[in-house]
Chains A and B, each alone.
Chain A
Amino acid sequence: MSDDIVREFLVESSENLDLLDRELINLEKDPGNRSTLASIFRTIHTIKGTCGFLGFTKLESVAHVGENLLSKLRDGELALNPEMTTALLAMVDAIRQMLASVEAVGNEGERNDQELIQTLTRLLQGTAAAAKADAAAAPAVAPVVPALAASVAPPPVELPATPLPVAEAAPKMEPKPDYADHAAADHGPAAPAGESAAQSQSRTAASESSIRVDVTLLDKLMNLVGELVLARNQILQFSNATEDAGLLAPSQRLNLITTELQEGVMKTRMQPIGNIWSKFPRTVRDVATMCGKQVRIEMEGKETELDKTIVEAIKDPLTHIVRNSVDHGIEKPERRVAVGKPSEGRLLLRAYHEGGQVIIEISDDGGGLDADKIRRKAVEKGLITPEQAARMGEREGVNLIFLPGFSTAEKVTNVSGRGVGMDVVKTNIEKIGGTVDVQSKAGTGTTVRMKIPLTLAIIPALIVTSGGDRYAIPQISLLELVRLDGEDAQTGIELIQGVPVHRLRGRLLPLVYLNRELKVDSEGADLAKLPAVNIVVLQADERPFGLVVDEINDTEEIVVKPLGKQLKGLKTFAGSTIMGDGRVALILDVLGLAQTSGVVNEVRARALAEKEAEASAVTGERQTLLLFAGPDDSHMALPLDHVGRLEVFPIASVERAGLREVVQYRGEILPLMFLSEMLPERRAHVRHAASLAKNAHPDRLQGIVYADGGNRVGVIIERILDIVEETIQAKSPPGRFGVLYTTVVQGRVTELLDMGTLLRAFERNRSPNISAERVEV
């Protein structure tokens, strides 16, 4: 039996007993108060259950008769009278004495509580009319009582070996089924010291060394510390400005003390994640039984600590995911065996710190998610268009489950499919500044990964200025600061297709202008004329991007205050804070900013690309690619080997032969293939005529003379972009017909055309009129 469990039981119980005292007294004043009765009943029940589990049979038997009496009172079969109250209070005292004995010497001590038990039992029988049984009369009554009691309750006397239902029901991994609100006991000072003397001392101190504190009080303290931090910031600003030595020293001390106080208060609010996990074995067991599955739950990193508010906030989302994993993720035993897995499924909960955040993973080794099915379902429900679905990769596909209104549960079960969907999970996690995504491999399992901030209240942040106002950027997403001066300010920023990028140590960093994103600057502001460029290199979804701001001020500890509900819809802001001068500044939501500015998708794709590259370990072949803009300005590429020439055809030279457009080219008739016609459109009904019209030079067509074997065809595209030699790092599946795969070239998602398929389709479309031979001419 673990000492910790006993110690926690003692702390818990001594508080519960105090509560019982008060409540019994209240109950006597107001015997009809059902909620008090229910509360008393629960408390006793809790104590009894735990005693049984811990093997304190004497304690248990006393608590048991008390409970029986209370249950009759609760059910209205008996009415409380003073005698009962006295007996119940005596029971509380007896329990308290036994607990004291447990705390001191480790067992309940030599006691005889027969009399108390008999009194309680007699009261239970409703024989209170027999008036007070005095000590002498009691033994005479005793033999009768068990017989009478037999039909009503289990024999209350001497039950060393009879396990009670509650004790039995308590699963091994969960010694305290009823301790829903168990405060984290302070393991520090009272940890078993090894030496028996120290041990007994720490045991004695167990119930005194930790106290329960109302969370609202902690919240209030936290708020006050927040205010103190703000006041400290103001004073520091002032003292630094005045350079008064007399002020400087105390303000430095104030600074240190505030920081320590802040850390201390934050610590009081930290709770191990195990507190909420401890309920999952039971949840898993229930759900698994209901679904006829076998599931084993494993936990890693139970001790990982999080702020209480965050623990509370992630409780429901976590429970939902766990239930989902068991209900949908893990297959039935027969099926698992059929596919060669052990019949028992495995659910792994992992928590660990990473970069000032907590990562929580819930993995199962079940059937995995079917990205195709999810995409279909999303289209069916009208959540996305078929075109969007077609473009989506595996990972984006499975993440569709986070869309509101999405549920793939074929049938609504007791467990899932009731409309509390993954979108609620996502919303709740994002509400506390976390992220959640899901990775899945069909057949091998699903992992839901959450990134959760440690605390919400006070965070270090970088203060920047843009458009005359200050903004705070949480330091957690900050990578570095780059300043481009003088000539660099002009040359350091290059444009790819109008998208500004900066070469940061050889890698292209997409740039986002904060002024533009916030629309706080006149559109006409000329970027090229800026004397210096301040780039804040940020990280969103594991990928960097540069945020260009007017000015970089300082780093500061800021107190995060939520935005009013009128402003909650703004994805760009995570909250607000009060600056040293008392003015309000907005806190930027880096992920939201990346999303609204469009960086994130590119970023996500790249992250995906790199991850897959790591996974496959085999890097792709090095290829020379022709990069060009296809319909709708999408980036496309063709291997240069097959590109005969790049040609510009005057529109006037385009002739029609049957159904197709052709040009005379070097003595041949070259059929023209308009990519805009061949590829499924992103926007419906954009015919090539339209694409001709918006061509930069409407009187000319940009063509690639493509040669494959003897076939030659003029592929009409929008513009030539570049020729690059690239190691194709990763390929994600094609998003549409005619595309071999999607990859990343020069930081842009690029589609590699599948000319074979395109040419075949090209032929099929026209074949009734034009024979293949003519093409070869």
Chain B
Amino acid sequence: MPSDKQLCTFYVGESYFGIPVDQVQEVVRPQPITPVPLAPKVIRGLINLRGQILTAIDLRNRLGLGEPGDPANLINIVVRTTDSPVSFLVDEIGEVLDLDQKTFESPPETLQGDMRELICGAYKLRDRLLLALSTERTISLADSSAPTRERDLGAATRFNQNGGTAERRIP
């Protein structure tokens, strides 16, 4: 459960999310994105933020809310991490809200899918729900997707390729 909080809010599709404002480095307008072939789909590519290269994660895809949007329209929320900063691509940026911890509730058990993993809970605002997103999990899950496994097996598959080549070469 998040302690107190000011959340930086944003929209992805119909949903309203927030992340702790102290984790947000800055919010940047849509940036040219260089796609990274072979990367997991949630990673839209790399952006150049004043000489620093950031990985851009498509939150719509990450949250299981559908196919990635057009990066030309997506706002970058630059999030600090223990590693280098990461950019979250969102549809629209909202306000920074001071939130009363009393309105916080854990996610309902019935919440399914990718979102379940990433949501710490919800703040019950007067007119709608604000979902508190865990930046850590949002980032780390992107980390644990397929290619990382490939690396772990990298050394093993290298030895495997001796046999593998012939098979793969068949047109």
The reply to whether B86 and A598 contact each other, CB–CB distance below 8 Å, is no
User: Given the interface contacts A469-B35, A582-B48, does A567 sit within 8 Å of B166 by beta carbon?
Assistant: no
Q: Which of B34, B51, B151 is close to A585, meaning CB atoms less than 8 Å apart?
A: B34
Q: Is B150 an interface residue (CB 8 A)?
A: yes
The reply to whether A388 and B139 contact each other, CB–CB distance below 8 Å, is no
The reply to whether B32 and A583 contact each other, CB–CB distance below 8 Å, is yes
> What is the minimal beta-carbon distance from B127 to any residue of chain A, in angstroms?
35
The reply to whether A384 and B156 contact each other, CB–CB distance below 8 Å, is yes
The reply to whether A634 and B166 contact each other, CB–CB distance below 8 Å, is yes
Q: Which of B48, B159, B168 is close to A392, meaning CB atoms less than 8 Å apart?
A: B159
The reply to whether A566 and B143 contact each other, CB–CB distance below 8 Å, is yes
CA distance A324 to B56 in the complex (A): 42
The reply to whether B38 and A392 contact each other, CB–CB distance below 8 Å, is no
Q: Is A498 an interface residue (CB 8 A)?
A: yes
User: Given the interface contacts A498-B169, A576-B53, does A583 sit within 8 Å of B38 by beta carbon?
Assistant: no
Q: Which residue of B lies closest to A578 (CB)?
A: B48
User: Given the interface contacts A498-B169, A598-B169, does A584 sit within 8 Å of B53 by beta carbon?
Assistant: yes
The reply to whether B37 and A519 contact each other, CB–CB distance below 8 Å, is yes
By secondary structure, the A interface counts as mixed
The reply to whether B143 and A565 contact each other, CB–CB distance below 8 Å, is yes
The reply to whether B162 and A402 contact each other, CB–CB distance below 8 Å, is no
Q: Is B7 an interface residue (CB 8 A)?
A: no
The reply to whether B162 and A571 contact each other, CB–CB distance below 8 Å, is no
Q: Is B46 an interface residue (CB 8 A)?
A: yes
Neighbouring A residues of B160 by C-beta, 8 Å: 384, 388
CA distance A578 to B51 in the complex (A): 7
Neighbouring A residues of B36 by C-beta, 8 Å: 567, 570, 573, 586
Neighbouring B residues of A584 by C-beta, 8 Å: 34, 45-48, 53
Neighbouring A residues of B142 by C-beta, 8 Å: 566
Q: Which of B155, B163, B167 is close to A387, meaning CB atoms less than 8 Å apart?
A: B163
Chain B positions 36-69 with a Cβ under 8 Å from a chain A Cβ: 36-40, 43, 45-48, 51-55, 57
Q: Which residue of B lies closest to A423 (CB)?
A: B155
Q: Which of B35, B43, B154, B159 is close to A396, meaning CB atoms less than 8 Å apart?
A: B159
Q: Which of B35, B48, B156 is close to A403, meaning CB atoms less than 8 Å apart?
A: B156
Chain A positions 159-214 with a Cβ under 8 Å from a chain B Cβ: none
> What is the minimal beta-carbon distance from A398 to any residue of chain B, in angstroms?
12
Neighbouring A residues of B86 by C-beta, 8 Å: 564, 566
Chain B positions 131-171 with a Cβ under 8 Å from a chain A Cβ: 139, 142-143, 147-152, 154-156, 158-171
CA distance A523 to B151 in the complex (A): 25
The reply to whether A583 and B34 contact each other, CB–CB distance below 8 Å, is yes
Q: Is A499 an interface residue (CB 8 A)?
A: yes
Neighbouring A residues of B35 by C-beta, 8 Å: 469, 520
Q: Which of B34, B57, B83, B167 is close to A565, meaning CB atoms less than 8 Å apart?
A: B83
The reply to whether A404 and B152 contact each other, CB–CB distance below 8 Å, is yes
The reply to whether B163 and A391 contact each other, CB–CB distance below 8 Å, is yes
Neighbouring A residues of B149 by C-beta, 8 Å: 569
Neighbouring B residues of A518 by C-beta, 8 Å: 37-38
> What is the minimal beta-carbon distance from B83 to any residue of chain A, in angstroms?
5
Q: Is A633 an interface residue (CB 8 A)?
A: yes
The reply to whether B143 and A632 contact each other, CB–CB distance below 8 Å, is no
The reply to whether A567 and B156 contact each other, CB–CB distance below 8 Å, is no
The reply to whether A564 and B83 contact each other, CB–CB distance below 8 Å, is yes
Q: Is A373 an interface residue (CB 8 A)?
A: no
Neighbouring A residues of B83 by C-beta, 8 Å: 564-565
Tell which of B52, B142, B158, B159 has the most Cβ of chain A within 10 Å: B159
What is the total number of residues of chain B having a CB less than 8 Å from a CB of chain A?
Answer: 48
Q: Is A642 an interface residue (CB 8 A)?
A: no
CA distance A449 to B162 in the complex (A): 22
Q: Is A61 an interface residue (CB 8 A)?
A: no
Neighbouring B residues of A569 by C-beta, 8 Å: 147-151
Q: Which residue of A lies closest to B170 (CB)?
A: A633
The reply to whether B163 and A388 contact each other, CB–CB distance below 8 Å, is yes
The proximity string for A residues 551-565 relative to B, scoring 1 for CB distances below 8 Å and 0 otherwise, is 000000000011111
CA distance A577 to B171 in the complex (A): 35
The reply to whether A567 and B43 contact each other, CB–CB distance below 8 Å, is yes
Q: Which of B46, B47, B151, B164 is close to A586, meaning CB atoms less than 8 Å apart?
A: B46
CA distance A181 to B37 in the complex (A): 42
CA distance A634 to B170 in the complex (A): 10
Q: Is B84 an interface residue (CB 8 A)?
A: yes
The reply to whether B162 and A392 contact each other, CB–CB distance below 8 Å, is yes
The reply to whether B169 and A682 contact each other, CB–CB distance below 8 Å, is no
> What is the minimal beta-carbon distance from A436 to any residue of chain B, in angstroms?
11
Q: Is A59 an interface residue (CB 8 A)?
A: no
Q: Which residue of B lies closest to A735 (CB)?
A: B162
CA distance A582 to B33 in the complex (A): 11
CA distance A563 to B39 in the complex (A): 12
Chain A positions 393-415 with a Cβ under 8 Å from a chain B Cβ: 396, 400, 402-404
Neighbouring A residues of B168 by C-beta, 8 Å: 598
Q: Which residue of B lies closest to A384 (CB)?
A: B159
Q: Which residue of A lies closest to B87 (CB)?
A: A564
Neighbouring A residues of B164 by C-beta, 8 Å: 598
Neighbouring A residues of B165 by C-beta, 8 Å: 598, 601-602
> What is the minimal beta-carbon distance from A180 to any residue of chain B, in angstroms?
28
User: Given the interface contacts A518-B38, A572-B38, A583-B32, does A497 sit within 8 Å of B169 by beta carbon?
Assistant: yes
Neighbouring B residues of A697 by C-beta, 8 Å: none
CA distance A564 to B86 in the complex (A): 8
Neighbouring B residues of A227 by C-beta, 8 Å: 51
Q: Is A230 an interface residue (CB 8 A)?
A: yes
The reply to whether B46 and A566 contact each other, CB–CB distance below 8 Å, is no
CA distance A601 to B165 in the complex (A): 8
Neighbouring A residues of B148 by C-beta, 8 Å: 568-569
CA distance A562 to B83 in the complex (A): 11
The reply to whether B38 and A570 contact each other, CB–CB distance below 8 Å, is yes
The reply to whether A635 and B162 contact each other, CB–CB distance below 8 Å, is no
CA distance A498 to B166 in the complex (A): 11
Q: Which residue of B lies closest to A585 (CB)?
A: B34
The reply to whether B159 and A571 contact each other, CB–CB distance below 8 Å, is no
Q: Is A733 an interface residue (CB 8 A)?
A: no
CA distance A583 to B49 in the complex (A): 10
The proximity string for A residues 591-623 relative to B, scoring 1 for CB distances below 8 Å and 0 otherwise, is 000010010111001000000000000000000
Q: Which residue of B lies closest to A400 (CB)?
A: B159
The reply to whether A633 and B37 contact each other, CB–CB distance below 8 Å, is no
The reply to whether A498 and B171 contact each other, CB–CB distance below 8 Å, is yes
The reply to whether A567 and B39 contact each other, CB–CB distance below 8 Å, is yes
A-B contact pairs, 27 of them (CB 8 A): A230-B51, A387-B163, A391-B162, A392-B162, A400-B159, A404-B155, A469-B34, A561-B52, A562-B84, A563-B55, A564-B55, A564-B84, A564-B86, A566-B40, A566-B142, A567-B55, A567-B147, A568-B148, A569-B148, A570-B36, A570-B147, A571-B154, A572-B38, A600-B161, A633-B169, A634-B166, A682-B163
Question: Considering the complex of A and B, which 7 residue pairs feature the smallest CB-CB distances, nearest first?
Answer: A498-B171, A518-B37, A569-B147, A564-B55, A569-B148, A584-B34, A584-B46
> Which residues of A are interface residues toward B (Cβ below 8 A)?
226-227, 230, 383-384, 387-388, 391-392, 396, 400, 402-404, 423, 426, 467, 469, 495, 497-499, 518-520, 561-573, 576-578, 582-586, 595, 598, 600-602, 605, 632-635, 682, 735, 749
Additional pairs, 18, CB under 8 Å, beyond known A404-B152, A467-B37, A633-B169? A426-B155, A497-B170, A497-B171, A499-B169, A519-B38, A561-B52, A563-B46, A565-B143, A566-B143, A567-B36, A569-B149, A573-B36, A576-B46, A576-B53, A584-B48, A601-B165, A605-B162, A633-B170
> Which residues of B are interface residues toward A (Cβ below 8 A)?
32, 34-40, 43, 45-48, 51-55, 57, 83-84, 86, 139, 142-143, 147-152, 154-156, 158-171
